[in-house]
Chain A
Amino acid sequence: MSQSSVLAYLRLIVLCFVLYLAITANLEPANWAAGLLMSVAIALIIRPASEPLSLRRLPAALLNLVVYVAWLSVDIIRNGIRVARIVLDPQLPIKPGILAIKSEMRTELGRALNAHAITVTPGEQVIEVDDNGTLYTHCLDVEASAAGAEEAQRKRQAMLKAIFE
């Protein structure tokens, strides 16, 4: 077994194990053992494909993940309040439209996560992705989104690249 395939197995086992402990919320030794057994069994059944993984990048990636989640949360709250205001306004001041946003993520996972980050914020939603990675995004207020799109997209990409690519 090569080193990278061992790492791929380990990654899956740790992920399943942590998820199992989180869901059962039970820290008795018997539960630990059961969780570990199931995680190993799942890894053996799934047989994760080995990818170039490096342990050295892990701490930086995890730190970036925390920063990314925090940034995304702030973005969701800010835009959520903006959309709530639009909905509650008696005049319903929407300016809908579809905006093309360029994504420079190279991998499919990167593009999917880029689209996810846009769609998860209220008021913007990716309708279609083409082969060049352009994200066609429906916006509730297309003027405001177009003004901030490039800046936001640059930040998103920098963070996603630091984590996943």
Chain B
Amino acid sequence: METLSYGLSTLAVLVGTAFSVIGILGLVRLPDVYARMHAVGKVATFGVVLLTIAAVLVVPFAWSKGLVLIALLVLTGPATSHAIGSAAYRLGIPMKRALRDDLAARRLPEAGA
């Protein structure tokens, strides 16, 4: 049983770290702030959640803490990335290589107004 949970924990650490590395790669490779937000958001959801699961599998009686932590991460992560994305759009930072922009037709309230 202990071997199993250690094995699963190791797997979770490896996959979580791999996704974190991919997220950072995306941050470097993707062209603009909006696309980069996707990569960063993925690091938060995948990397951190998997590392939390790994910790929970090894430390006994901590699963409920891990569950609360994961719930809070998943609930609050999108709020921050939305805030950054929305602020970027209101500041008029252009999208690179954009195929369509349904929002361009609508006039947004001025930033800071």
Interface of A toward B, CB cutoff 8 Å: 19, 21-23, 25, 76, 80, 83-84, 87-88, 92, 94-100, 115-116, 119-120, 122-128, 130, 136, 138, 140, 142-143
* Residues of chain A lying within 8 A (CB to CB) of residue B3: none
A149 to chain B, nearest CB (A): 11
* Residues of chain B lying within 8 A (CB to CB) of residue A96: 32, 34-35, 95-99
| Nearest 5 A/B pairs, CB to CB | A119-B78, A100-B102, A22-B64, A87-B26, A97-B100
Interface of B (DSSP majority class)? helix
* Residues of chain B lying within 8 A (CB to CB) of residue A76: 45-46
* Residues of chain A lying within 8 A (CB to CB) of residue B65: 22-23, 25
CB–CB B98/A97 < 8 A = yes
How far is B32's CA from A136's CA once the two chains are assembled, in angstroms?
A: 18
A98 to chain B, nearest CB (A): 5
A16 to chain B, nearest CB (A): 12
A92, A98, A123: the one within 8 Å of B38 (CB): A123
Interface of A (DSSP majority class)? mixed
CB–CB A80/B19 < 8 A = yes
* Interface presence of B10 (CB below 8 A): no
Encode contact with A along B39-81: 1 for CB under 8 Å, 0 otherwise: 1011001100000000000000110110110000011011101
* Interface presence of B30 (CB below 8 A): yes
CB–CB B19/A84 < 8 A = yes
How far is B30's CA from A88's CA once the two chains are assembled, in angstroms?
A: 11
CB–CB B106/A120 < 8 A = no
The count of residues in chain B whose C-beta lies closer than 8 Å to any C-beta of chain A is: 46
* Interface presence of B4 (CB below 8 A): no
* Interface presence of B101 (CB below 8 A): yes
What is the chain B residue whose CB lies nearest that of A126?
A: B82
How far is B38's CA from A111's CA once the two chains are assembled, in angstroms?
A: 21
Interface pairs (22), CB distance under 8 Å: A19-B68, A23-B68, A83-B42, A84-B19, A84-B22, A84-B42, A88-B25, A92-B30, A94-B30, A95-B97, A96-B32, A96-B96, A97-B100, A98-B104, A115-B82, A119-B82, A124-B38, A125-B85, A127-B89, A127-B103, A138-B37, A138-B85
B38, B67, B75, B101: the one within 8 Å of A22 (CB): B67
CB–CB A98/B22 < 8 A = no
A119 to chain B, nearest CB (A): 4
CB–CB B98/A98 < 8 A = yes
Most chain A CB atoms below 10 A, which of B65, B86, B95: B86
How far is B86's CA from A68's CA once the two chains are assembled, in angstroms?
A: 26
Given known contacts A22-B64, A23-B68, A122 and B99 CB-to-CB distance under 8 angstroms: no
